Amino acid sequence: MRVAVFGLGYVGFTTACCIASQGHHVAGMDANAAKRAAIAAGQAPISEPGVQALFDTARAEGRFTVAGSAAEALEGADIAMICVGTPSGPDGAQDMRFIAEVTRQIGEALSLAPPRALTLAYRSTLRPGSIEELVRPVLASRLPPAHMAALELVSNPEFLREATAVADYFAPPRIVIGTEAGHGSVALEALYAGIEAPVFRCRFREAEFTKFVDNTWHAAKVAFANEIGRLCLRLGLDAKQVHEIFVSDTRLNISPAYLRPGGAFGGSCLPKDVRALQHIAADCGANTHVVDALLRSNEVHKHELYERAVRTLPAGASVLLVGLAFKPGTDDLRESPNVDMARKLLAAGFRLAVYDPALDAGKLVGANLGHAFASLPRLSDLLVSRQVAEAGGFDLVIAANATIEELSFLAPPPRILDIGVLA
């Protein structure tokens, strides 16, 4: 295949060299004339393990050329990869000038020739909506409909880390291909043939969002680890050993567990222990800002779920809340987010019924009793039998936990909302 690569920085140059090493022909284009001249003379513009060797081989075999213009780079190309920078602006938003400019150049170059099939793959990190709201309009302003129809636009985020970029290209954690309909790209999948990695085919916006989720999570992990490390130092603990114990749990700690967006956290352990850790950190002056934000974020999420539930409900609507306890099969209401949901529904004037077969208001004791009746003093009046729940007649059924799986409604309710799943 013939591949044009726009932007020959860390991502673009590494990508170009790796593609060329697989037998494809690469034409590299960069806005910096001095960089183009250096590359044409055989000088790699970056220092990255393994790249110079790949570059030297590709040049020697005639598979890497430097283009002087967008039109030259695109000549005969099957795929054009856009790898220009999207740095932070003064307000923290991405500066999209380079994306807009290279897209404009590509559009003008394509307008000079008859329409032909070409895949434009954006490897740059783009905010969600960029292809639909920036790239496509820029191209459409310079290309007639026939040219636009021949183009395939793709969001194809990269996962290259400096110092391991070559290895990461050939063994990525996954390949993400975002297209308008989310059905994948024949051209890109042919380019990546032979690379063993899960392939995710999705729409533009989900693909564009990938890098933000990844890098913010990486930042959150580093910040969390450092906060725990500061606490260990202040408390005289062995941070290395605490870390070893923590990461040894690959079932819950270092795993997909607790990372699926859905319901708020609650129950007898998480809120209590987070508060306790906050107090320990404040007491020893460790300043754990990430930990301090957890409970506030959780409260915001509880309200988001409530607003999602009632967004289209008329005033005074009837609501069945299935599952009041934090987990099914238990009667532990302590800090259950479902209790907060019930309280908000009642305060807003909705007619609420609660089905939770494990719960008997007359048998609650101790802190469980205190929490339940402080939040829901009419709890015993809210609870309904399975027969009443299944009879229906509710404007909305909220599935707060897996208790919903026990019910077989006689008539399907107008709406069932599973607040454990964000979709």
Angle of CA points 373, 377, 382, to nearest 5°: 110
Q: Report H helices in 141-238.
A: 145-150, 165-170, 186-191, 204-235
Burial label for 280, CB within 10 Å (0-12, 13-18, 19+), is: middle
CA–CA separation, 379 and 356 (whole Å) = 11
Answer whether 31's CB lies under 8 Å from 109's CB.
Answer: no
Catalytic residue among 17, 83, 232, 269: 269
Q: Kindly state the DSSP code that residue 265 receives in the 8-state scheme.
A: P
Residue 197 bridge partners (DSSP): none
User: Which 3 state secondary structure label does DSSP give 95?
Assistant: coil
CB count in 10 Å sphere of residue 255: 10
Q: Is 18 a catalytic residue?
A: no
CA–CA separation, 99 and 384 (whole Å) = 58
CA–CA separation, 200 and 177 (whole Å) = 6
> Would you please indicate which residues are annotated as catalytic (active-site) residues?
269
